[in-house]
Amino acid sequence: MRIFPENASSYGAEIDFIFWLITTVVAVGSVIVIFLILYPLFTRNKQRSPEQRYLKGQGFKQMKLIYLGIVILAIADFSFLLKEGPTWTKIEETLPKDDLHIAVIGRQWLWEFVYPGPDGKLYTADDVKKINQLYIPVNAVVHMDIQSYDVIHSVFIPNARFKQDALPGRSIKRWVKMTKTGTYPLTCAEICGIGHANMKANITVQSQEDFQKTLAKLYKK
């Protein structure tokens, strides 16, 4: 049994790696905390404990182990922040050159995917629209202009580890590069009304040739 759904994007593995990195840090921390809690419970209960000590935790000498604990946690925190920061910059703050530029528009309760028409430019009269079914080519950087007509939606592609809220009145540009062909779910992660549970699309990742055929078919309609 796998913990995460199958990864199919270029950066998905890095997001999973951050999870396992933090989980490792947390697991070590948990073992320490469990020991620190259980040890006194088993040795210092009423029947067998020697006289307790009058320790108030004042001054550096008594507090030094607590300070040490905080320093260790700070080091652990920054150990994954150092990895986390550049990954965030790569995924969210930089925009690699696009091979395909589309618009993903949420509305109650479906997803619209808008492709540039034969002129290769988005937001012109010859754009083509597809409802609840997105086709994209494999190994290509796809820029998505994420928009909404009415309320807040959120584009969630679990297999790509991709999520971005879609807000009415603005267009948010994000990118994804799928590395495996196949059909994956695309859902809405932000509650958007009664049909929220039914808002579901598919994203089909195709080889370049298949994608060109699909696009040609779309233009013909």
Partner 1 sequence: MNTHKKHGFWHRFFFSLDHKDIGFQYMLTIFLMVSIGGFFAYVFRMHLAYPDMKVPLFGLVTNKDYNMLITNHGLIMMMWLALGMLLAVVGNFLIPIMIGTDDMAFPKLNKISYWFFLISVILMIASFFMPKGGLGGGWTLYPPLSVGDFGYNTPYQGFASRFFTANTFVLLAIVFEFTSLLMGGINFFVTTLNKRAKGMSLLKMPIVVWMINIASVLFMFSVGPLVAGTFMLLLDINVGTGFYDAYRGGDPLLWEHLFWFFGHPEVYVILLPPLGILAEIISTNSRKPLFGYRFIINMTLLAGVLSMMVWAHHQFVAGINPKAATVFSILTIIISLPFAGIILAYIATLWYGKIRFTLPMKWALGAVALFTLLGGFTGLHLGASVFDIYAHDTSFVVAHFHYTLFPTVIFGTYAAMYFWFNKFTGRHLNKTLGNIHFWLTFIFFNGFAFPLFLLGLAGQHRRIADYRQFEFLMQDPLPLYRQIATISAVILILTQFIFIFNFFWSLKKGKKVESNNPWEANTLEWQTSSPPPHGNFAVYPVVYHGPYEYNMPERDKDFTPQNEA
Residue 91 DSSP class: I
Name the residue nearer to partner 1 (CB basis): 142 or 188: 188
Name the residue nearer to partner 1 (CB basis): 74 or 216: 74
Name the residue nearer to partner 1 (CB basis): 181 or 187: 187
CB of 56 to partner 1, least distance (A): 5
Residue 55 DSSP class: -
Name the residue nearer to partner 1 (CB basis): 11 or 115: 11
Nearest to 185 by CA among 1, 3, 2, 8: 8
CB of 206 to partner 1, least distance (A): 19
**Which residue is associated with the tokens 């088993």?**
42
* CA 112/CA 109 separation, integer angstroms: 10
* CA 25/CA 12 separation, integer angstroms: 20
Q: CA 113, 116, 120: angle at the middle one, nearest 5? A: 155
CB of 119 to partner 1, least distance (A): 28
Which whole-number Å values give the CA distances from 97 to 120, 176, 221, in the listed order?
15, 11, 29
CB of 69 to partner 1, least distance (A): 5
CB 44: neighbour CB atoms within 10 A? 11
Name the residue nearer to partner 1 (CB basis): 76 or 218: 76
CB of 112 to partner 1, least distance (A): 16
What's the distance, Cα to Cα, between the start and end of the chain in Å? 43
